[in-house]
Amino acid sequence: MPHTPADSVRGCPRAAAVVRTWCALALDALGRAREEIDAINVYPVADGDTGTNLYLTVESASRAVEAVFDGHAAADPAAPPTLPEVARAMAHGALIGARGNSGTILAQLLRGTAEVLAAAPEGAEGGELLRAALARAVASAYEGVARPVEGTVLTVAAAAARAAGETGGDASAVARAADEAARTALAVTPGQLDVLGDAGVVDAGGLGLVEVLGALARALSGETAPVAAYAWRTEAVTAPAPEPRAWRPARTEGCHPEPAAGDGPAGPAFEVIYLLEADDEAVARLRTRLDALGDSLVVVGGDGLWNVHVHVDDAGAAVEAGIDAGRPHRVRITHFGSADATARTREPVQRAVVTVVPGEGLAGLCAEAGATVVAARPGEPPASGELVEAVRRAHAREVLLLPNDPDLRHAAAAAAEQARAEGVRVALIPTRSPVQGIAALAVHEPGRRFDEDVVAMTAAAGATRYAELAVAERQSWTMAGVCQAGDVLGLIDGDVAVIGTDLAATAGTVLDRMLAAGGEMVTLVLGAGVPSAVADQLERHVRAAHLAVDTVVYRGGQQTAPLLIGIE
């Protein structure tokens, strides 16, 4: 957080905003790199979920930070949150949302960082503060891991903190040094851990941390544009090709070893994770007890709330140890070797559709068609956890997931991966608008082969061009020129193409532009409060100007956009 003479880092609104930007950039970066990270996950267990777990952990941290900003905006827009408030929210969100071994360690790294940021004295200089924060982050992470191993995310974090401590200058310079050192440390992890060298990959958790530190450097420098994932293959020190073995089918380019059939799991059978309310003394005893039960033990947190992660053969004993120490909740037990661990008592259906929709009318329409619906509330898109819960509610062996929003692509992909780990076959249909979701749902046929259904729904969505009408909240520059507050904006495929003053007239212009490229069917979805007369006027316009084009109207009830348009 760069120091400014007029304002201390502790109370500076910009410092709090940098943390917010950091979380958002880290979430986007992990979303882009998630599949790559999952694909190279071979340590401590080759279960292919490290990228997903890191994404879910940061998602929880980011949502907690956003909640603080939203709360301040509602109470007093002139009083933005302070750095201590935002830092504590980030740490708490990461702690309660931490998943997996690497996610739990990342949560502790963020907690250590937050401890220093929250306690920053008045007048603290940004570079000095960040050096101290990264040093504390690494120290606290090592404290949380029972048996640290070289060549993992801890090694990468330690290298970043050392470089930060040796670098002068402002916070941006310190973050760049930490980022560069982390990349260098990650590149040599295959030579530090045999399982990585055998597979010819870098540490998956370390790769995730590189994305998080890169996001920090960009947040501090002001470079917020999305960047490509770190190209570890061109920089990593890799070992000679391993001996032939059984391999899991790769989801991305890269290898992902799995024990040969009949070998059985290489380590404990279960991963046990829970939040625990307990005092420090009880947690100290718990660490000793769990360390004797299994491995990959990570216990992080403090101030009475802890996140416990361990790999064991006796999952019941691990939970009982938590009960003896305090009050465990959000208990999650995953069987490494069997997709049947999450089998339900009642027989699941063969196939279901899960769709995200923004209004009650659309929700009813999709529910009537047999879909499981997730509500997208104004300004509060569903998190990946909500999407996973919807997949579980669908109770099907196969699920087709329709996000209907380009901003949900990473959350939906993470949810799909989580559901796959629970034994559900999930396909993500790349719908970018609710009207594309309607088109995909219209061609859904549960009776045909799964792959054929995926292809048909994807093709229907892709053949549907989409637009929406919105009302400008403030003066701003757009691709169609300058708009004023209150202007009606016509967005085609996400970009502002038309600026007008009347909803129906602007929508007519949008329709003309879209239908100039052809089309047979127009879908109009009316938002909350939009009179039916608007749809009547647009139907007459289409009939008069575009022969042989049919129009169908739905009352969607969405709050965010007065009108959605689809052209098939």
Q: What is the pLDDT of residue 251?
A: 29
Beta-carbon contacts of 178 under 8 Å, excluding residues fewer than 6 positions away, are 134, 160, 161, 163, 164, 167, 213, 216, 217
Q: What is the pLDDT of residue 76?
A: 86
63 or 263, which is more confident: 63
pLDDT at 540 over 70: yes
386 or 275, which is more confident: 275
pLDDT 10s digits, 465-511: 999 999 998 888 988 899 999 999 999 998 999 999 999 999 999 99
Q: What is the pLDDT of residue 267?
A: 72
- Within 10 angstroms of residue 314's Cβ, the number of other Cβ atoms is 15
Token code pair at residue 289: 């007890």
Token code pair at residue 381: 């898109």
pLDDT at 93 over 80: yes
Q: What is the pLDDT of residue 337?
A: 57
Closest CA to 40 of 234, 267, 217, 196: 196
CA distance 487 to 500: 6
pLDDT at 256 over 50: no
Q: What is the pLDDT of residue 106?
A: 96
pLDDT average, residue stretch 263-268:
55
Q: What is the pLDDT of residue 3?
A: 38
CA distance 542 to 522: 8
Beta-carbon contacts of 163 under 8 Å, excluding residues fewer than 6 positions away, are 177, 178, 180, 181
Question: Coil, helix or strand for 75?
Answer: helix
Q: How confident is the model at residue 176 (pLDDT cuts 50, 70, 90)?
A: very high
Q: What is the pLDDT of residue 180?
A: 95
Q: How confident is the model at residue 6 (pLDDT cuts 50, 70, 90)?
A: very low
pLDDT at 532 over 60: yes
All structural domains of the chain, each given as residue ranges with its CATH number in brackets, are 13-234 (1.25.40.340), 270-337 (3.30.70.1710), 346-462 (3.40.50.510), 465-567 (3.30.1180.10)
CA distance 204 to 113: 21
CA distances, 79 to each of 21, 73, 75 (Å): 18, 8, 8
Q: How confident is the model at residue 12 (pLDDT cuts 50, 70, 90)?
A: low
Q: What is the pLDDT of residue 191?
A: 92
| 444 and 457 Cβ atoms separated by less than 8 Å | yes
Q: What is the pLDDT of residue 345?
A: 42
The percent of residues above 70 in pLDDT, for the chain, comes to 89
Mean pLDDT of the chain, nearest integer: 85
CA distance 552 to 345: 42
Q: How confident is the model at residue 46 (pLDDT cuts 50, 70, 90)?
A: confident
Amino acid at 472: A
Least confident of 84-98, 176-190, 245-259: 245-259
Q: What is the pLDDT of residue 61?
A: 94
pLDDT at 226 over 90: no
| 505 and 499 Cβ atoms separated by less than 8 Å | no
Q: What is the pLDDT of residue 234?
A: 52
pLDDT at 96 over 70: yes
Helix, strand, coil share of the chain (percent; to 5): 50, 20, 30
Q: What is the pLDDT of residue 515?
A: 92
CA distance 452 to 437: 17
Q: How confident is the model at residue 254 (pLDDT cuts 50, 70, 90)?
A: very low
Q: What is the pLDDT of residue 229?
A: 67
Q: How confident is the model at residue 168 (pLDDT cuts 50, 70, 90)?
A: confident
pLDDT average, residue stretch 283-292:
92
pLDDT 10s digits, 178-211: 999 999 999 999 999 999 998 899 999 999 999 9
pLDDT at 132 over 50: yes
Q: What is the pLDDT of residue 10?
A: 52
Token code pair at residue 335: 């069987």
Q: What is the pLDDT of residue 490?
A: 93
pLDDT 10s digits, 397-455: 999 999 999 989 888 999 998 899 888 999 999 999 999 999 999 999 999 999 999 99
Q: What is the pLDDT of residue 91?
A: 94
pLDDT 10s digits, 108-123: 999 999 999 999 887 7
H/E stretch holding 243 reads: none
| 334 and 45 Cβ atoms separated by less than 8 Å | no
Contacts 24+ apart (CB under 8 A), 530-537: 530/503, 530/562, 530/563, 534/503, 534/504, 534/507, 534/563, 537/504, 537/508
**DSSP output for 126-191:** HHHHHHHHHHHHHHHHHHHBSS--TTSHHHHHHHHHHHHHT--S-HHHHHHHHHHHHHHHHHTGGG
